[in-house]
């Protein structure tokens, strides 16, 4: 079952706002036309519909970036992104294993360091892409798990989303979503079994 709702108070859809500063200089500021969408579920691995939709969007000519934060197994990383449909860039961690067993991670300092470094590498790449304006859609899969594991700072994510420059949507997925981020979302979809 899918339950979805949108915030009533959405942002203005103005394309350009002229701002007069004290020096009488006109500055063009572009607003974000895209929405922040959150998909939440009580269990991992429930986002196959998002991946399906990203493939469809790429096949229709939209430039899509799919980042899977807590998935490994392919030694991919930012430098070895996979291109699909000519328009979908799919990036997973450069770390080689699935990154969600927090007890195993806490007990192995080398594993913890490797996961932390590869996740930070992905996050820095994402921040650059969210501000570049080069993508029509960006999907941050399981970013909330990276926040829960204290690898990515919640306030850094909020600040980055507030300062994003993307005409399309930013989609965030996860199981344990901080209230601050729920309040930022234009649409929240809860996936249930």
**What's the pLDDT tens digit per position in 19-47?**
344 444 444 444 546 899 998 887 666 66
Q: Which of 47, 41, 45, 49 is nearest to 190 (CA)?
A: 41
Domain boundaries, the chain: 2-191
Q: pLDDT class for 172, splitting at 50, 70, 90?
A: very high
Q: Which CATH homologous superfamily contains domain 2-191?
A: P-loop containing nucleotide triphosphate hydrolases (3.40.50.300)
Structure tokens at 78: 């930012």
Q: pTM for the complete prediction?
A: 0.76
CA distance 159 to 155: 6
**What's the pLDDT tens digit per position in 104-117?**
767 778 877 888 88
**Residue 17 near residue 31 (C-beta atoms within 8 A):** yes
- Given a cut of 60, is residue 153 above it in pLDDT? yes
Helices and strands of the chain, counted as H and E runs: 6, 10
Structure tokens at 171: 């989609």
**Residue 47 near residue 54 (C-beta atoms within 8 A):** no
The residues, ordered by sequence, that sit 6+ positions from 182 with a Cβ below 8 Å of its Cβ are: 38, 188
């Amino acid at each position: 079952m899918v339950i979805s709702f949108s915030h009533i108070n959405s942002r203005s859809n103005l394309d350009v706002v002229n701002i007069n500063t004290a020096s009488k200089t006109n500055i063009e500021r572009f607003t974000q036309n895209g929405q922040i969408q959150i998909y939440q579920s009580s269990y991992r691995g429930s986002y196959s519909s998002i991946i399906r939709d990203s493939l469809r969007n790429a096949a229709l000519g939209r430039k899509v970036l799919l980042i899977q934060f807590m998935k490994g197994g392919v030694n991919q990383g930012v430098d070895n992104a996979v291109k699909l449909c000519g328009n979908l860039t799919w990036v997973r961690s450069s770390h080689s294993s699935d990154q969600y067993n927090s007890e195993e991670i806490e007990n192995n300092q080398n594993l913890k360091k490797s996961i932390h470094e590869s996740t930070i590498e992905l996050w820095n790449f994402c921040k650059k892409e969210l501000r570049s304006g080069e993508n029509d859609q960006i999907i941050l899969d399981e970013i909330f798990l990276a926040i829960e594991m204290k690898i990515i700072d919640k306030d850094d994510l909020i600040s980055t989303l507030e300062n994003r420059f993307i005409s399309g949507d930013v989609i965030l997925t996860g199981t344990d979503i901080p209230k601050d981020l729920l309040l930022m979302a234009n649409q929240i979809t809860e996936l249930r079994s």
